[in-house]
A and B are shown apart, each in its own frame.
Chain A
């Protein structure tokens, strides 16, 4: 008999593994990271004098509990850290561990691949000192470092203020918190958010704290440029009234919400459909996370919902998996988890509407802006290709003509912006631009990994 395999040891993967273990299974849990916890609950290497409780704030208890639970779980599962799944072919995973390729057969596969930041390009965004917002948080939580001494936070997300709060707490100067969504647009989305008032209050709390400390907090900005020679020196913006503002800083954190890492779901055969709120193509799942025969998707890797939703959706997908194995259903647990997942994901959907992805700003980016940071392709090159006779009007075709999205990251970073540039040319909603297809290898693999055997 082959096995049940979970990919990803964040809250969703851990939540799933617990449910499977409780039913007597011994799942294989594969994780790319060195230590369990995923990105949001990542645990630093031993010896870092960082007060995680203080840094995690309201989530400190959950953070500690998750890691305690994982330690208890570890003996009961087959845990394989530092292992990348680089391809999926039928019922076989292709792995990369310790620089060597290997394979692993599975009967049932639960993917909890997590999310990364979605970013909108702007002039200068490839300068040293510009990082994703999630990256800025990881520098702190994982390495005990700030990305700079005077940091600007730019994007559209409630996490801008949260991260800025953590940074200020740890001694950084905050140059500005600049959100591209106008304040009235956020207020208009509030009724949706009020479904989860406690989270809302926490979010507003961060904003309030920033205001009290005298940090400039701007809504409805238009990013102009990150300035600097060989590193960040300032962030240039136009504020909501159209005035140009320059904020001297040595680092910029960029964050426009999160986007699911869906490459593995794609390779496993999940179907995708366009989500107009997130303006992303997302894998199709049923209410419990089923995405196809013996394929289950959970956590932020399939729908952005945050850590609590991830954990609950992992458990829920595990219940689906057990039901499909013919085990009796714990209908009470399923009902509770379903409600929890729906409520939290609906809240995140509200946030995605309130803190909108700035599609109009992206469509209006100057031709000179670097779009694909791997292959060095500008917005103008993409537009020029589309404007030719018989030019490409679909993202995969644009990629073929321009190399945008063709590099090492396989369009993870530039993909959402590329989609908006193409969508603005072809018209209709974002779906008309098409979806960048996932291809193996999911991440780069050295030739040497294949070994030398004939």
Chain B
């Protein structure tokens, strides 16, 4: 799968433990200390999709105020990408994974 063009451009290297996470099924390499948001945007241009119309979003305020960068974690739980540091093995997605067989 071709990697999408990154939004963020790293200009200061980070020394630290290498970390691998996955987002939308794609492996992403980052360094311990990186924010989830920086790790995702160094590797693409998507953090989440708006619930109303699925338009792409990639965060906005980067300081935990606008709430526009919450991603879904496979272990359950939500992660605000701009204020959460990457963790090895994180499995993340832009939209929630539906429980099977729910027809309400």
Q: Tell me, in angstroms, the Cα distance from A172 to B70 when the chains sit together.
A: 28
CB distance from B5 to the nearest CB of A (A): 8
Tell whether, in the assembled complex, residue B63 and residue A144 are in contact, meaning their CB atoms are under 8 Å apart: no
Q: A205 on the interface (CB 8 Å rule)? A: no
A48 touches B78 (CB 8 A): no
Within 8 A of B (CB), among A404-454: 407-409, 412-413, 443-444, 446, 448
Given A129-B45, A376-B52, A408-B67: A171 and B11 interface contact (C-beta under 8 Å): yes
B87 close to A (CB within 8 Å): no
Interface of B is mostly: loop
> Contact at A48–B58, with CB atoms within 8 Å?
no
A131: shortest Cβ distance to chain B, in Å? Answer: 6
The answer on a CB contact under 8 Å between A48 and B65 is no
Judge if A126 is at the interface, Cβ distance under 8 Å: yes
Main secondary structure of the interface of A (DSSP, over half): loop
Contact call B11/A409, Cβ cutoff below 8 A: no
Residues of chain A from 91 to 143 with CB closer than 8 A to chain B in the complex = 99, 116-117, 126-132, 134-136, 138-140, 142-143
In the complex, are the beta carbons of A409 and B65 less than 8 A apart? Answer: yes
Asked whether, in the complex, the Cβ of B63 is within 8 Å of the Cβ of A135, the reply is yes
Report the minimum CB–CB distance from B30 to chain A (whole Å): 10
Residue in A50, A139, A374, A375 whose beta carbon sits within 8 Å of that of B62 in the complex: A139
B35 part of interface (Cβ distance < 8 Å): yes
Q: How far is the CA of A375 from the CA of B52 in the complex (A)?
A: 8
Question: Closest residue to B42 on the A side, CB-wise?
Answer: A145
Q: Is B3 an interface residue (CB 8 A)?
A: no
B-contacting 9-mer, from A39-47, A207-215, A334-342, A393-401: A39-47
CB contacts (< 8 Å) of B7 on chain A: these are 128-129, 147-148, 231, 250-251
Residues in A whose Cβ lies below 8 Å from that of B61: 116-117, 131-132, 134-135, 413
- Closest Cβ of chain B to A86, distance in Å, is 13
Please tell me which one of the listed residues B5, B38, B55, B85 contacts residue A139 in the complex, with CB atoms under 8 A apart: B38
Chain A contacts for B55, CB-based, 8 A: 126
B12 at the interface (CB under 8 A from A): yes
Contact: B57 with A144, CB < 8 Å? no
Inter-subunit contact B60/A145 (CB<8 Å) = no
Question: Distance in Å from the Cβ of B42 to the closest Cβ of chain A?
Answer: 7
Contact indicator B14/A48 (Cβ below 8 Å): yes
B99 at the interface (CB under 8 A from A): no
Return chain A residues, CB-CB under 8 Å to B65.
Answer: 116, 261, 409, 412-413
Could you tell me the distance between the alpha carbons of A412 and B68 in the complex, rounded to whole angstroms? Answer: 12
Whether B1 is near chain A, meaning CB under 8 Å from some CB there, is no
Q: Say if the beta carbon of B33 comes within 8 Å of chain A.
A: yes
Q: Are B8 and A230 in contact (CB under 8 A)?
A: no
Q: Is A383 an interface residue (CB 8 A)?
A: no
Interface residues as binary, A222-257 with B (CB distance below 8 Å gives 1, 0 otherwise) = 000000001100000000000000000011000000
Which residue of the partner chain A has the closest CB to B46?
Answer: A128
Q: How distant is the Cα of A360 from the Cα of B5 in the complex, in angstroms?
A: 37
On whether the beta carbons of B12 and A413 are closer than 8 Å, the reply is: no
A144 with B45, Cβ < 8 A, contacts A45-B33, A139-B62 known: no
Within 8 A of B (CB), among A136-195: 136, 138-140, 142-149, 170-172
Q: Please tell me if the beta carbons of B33 and A47 are within 8 angstroms of each other in the complex.
A: yes
Measured CB to CB, the closest approach of chain A to B12, in angstroms, equals 3
In the assembly, what is the distance between CA of A407 and CA of B57, in Å?
15
With A147-B7, A231-B45 as known contacts, state yes or no: A48 contacts B12, CB within 8 Å.
yes
- Say yes or no: is A390 at the interface (Cβ < 8 Å to chain B): no
- Nearest Cβ on chain B to A41's Cβ, whole angstroms: 13
Per-position contact with A for B24-39: 1 when CB-CB < 8 Å, else 0? 0000000111110110
Interface flags for A289-329 (1: CB within 8 Å of B; 0: not) read: 00000000000000000000000000000000000000000
A373: CB under 8 A from chain B? yes
A129 touches B58 (CB 8 A): yes
Chain B residues near A381: list those with CB within 8 A.
none
Q: How far is the CB of B75 from chain A (nearest CB, A)?
A: 12
3 residue pairs, one from A and one from B, having the closest CB atoms = A144-B12, A128-B58, A135-B62
Given contacts A131-B61, A413-B65, 9 further A-B contacts (CB under 8 A): A48-B33, A49-B13, A126-B55, A129-B7, A138-B63, A142-B35, A143-B35, A407-B67, A409-B66
Provide a sorted-by-A list of 24 A–B residue pairs whose CB atoms are within 8 angstroms.
Answer: A45-B34, A49-B13, A49-B14, A116-B66, A128-B45, A128-B56, A131-B62, A134-B61, A135-B62, A139-B8, A142-B62, A143-B38, A144-B14, A145-B42, A147-B8, A171-B11, A230-B46, A261-B65, A409-B66, A413-B66, A443-B64, A443-B67, A444-B70, A446-B78
